[in-house]
Structure 1
């Protein structure tokens, strides 16, 4: 049951590491500071300075670096992919299902 997910996770890990490597993606202290400011802006009860000290702590730093790196990887992917929308017919609604 776990095998398909483990395979997908391993593939994503390899692909994302390669994207980061090829695009020279790194996470700097400035990136962490900007992330703290962005998160603080979403929630008025949080202060960017408090978030920053938490993010820079030994316990959280790896997690936050990973989170920011993923955002950068997604940005690279989005910049290289063209999404096209396709018109699809809306399926007819079955009235019997609503009565159940």
Structure 2
């Protein structure tokens, strides 16, 4: 099999995974929106202790699955920051 064919197959698999990942992010967003409406204030939304708890958890999961923990952490930090922004937008006015 040629390198070009192999690359095409790899890219197709990445596209399939992206579809799954986006669907999972959508499910996570639903929960984030619900949680954002329940939090008392913007400090509760930002919750730095909770962020670090999540980061610790996903780094451990990365180790269990063979993923690069630094890549997983960077991905989650970006995702968490985006979801914090979302939560702040959907919260009822104080």
Question: TM-score scaled to structure 2, two decimals?
Answer: 0.33
Higher share of residues assigned helix: 2
Larger RCO, structure (CA 8 Å, separation 6 or more): 2
Question: TM-score scaled to structure 1, two decimals?
Answer: 0.32
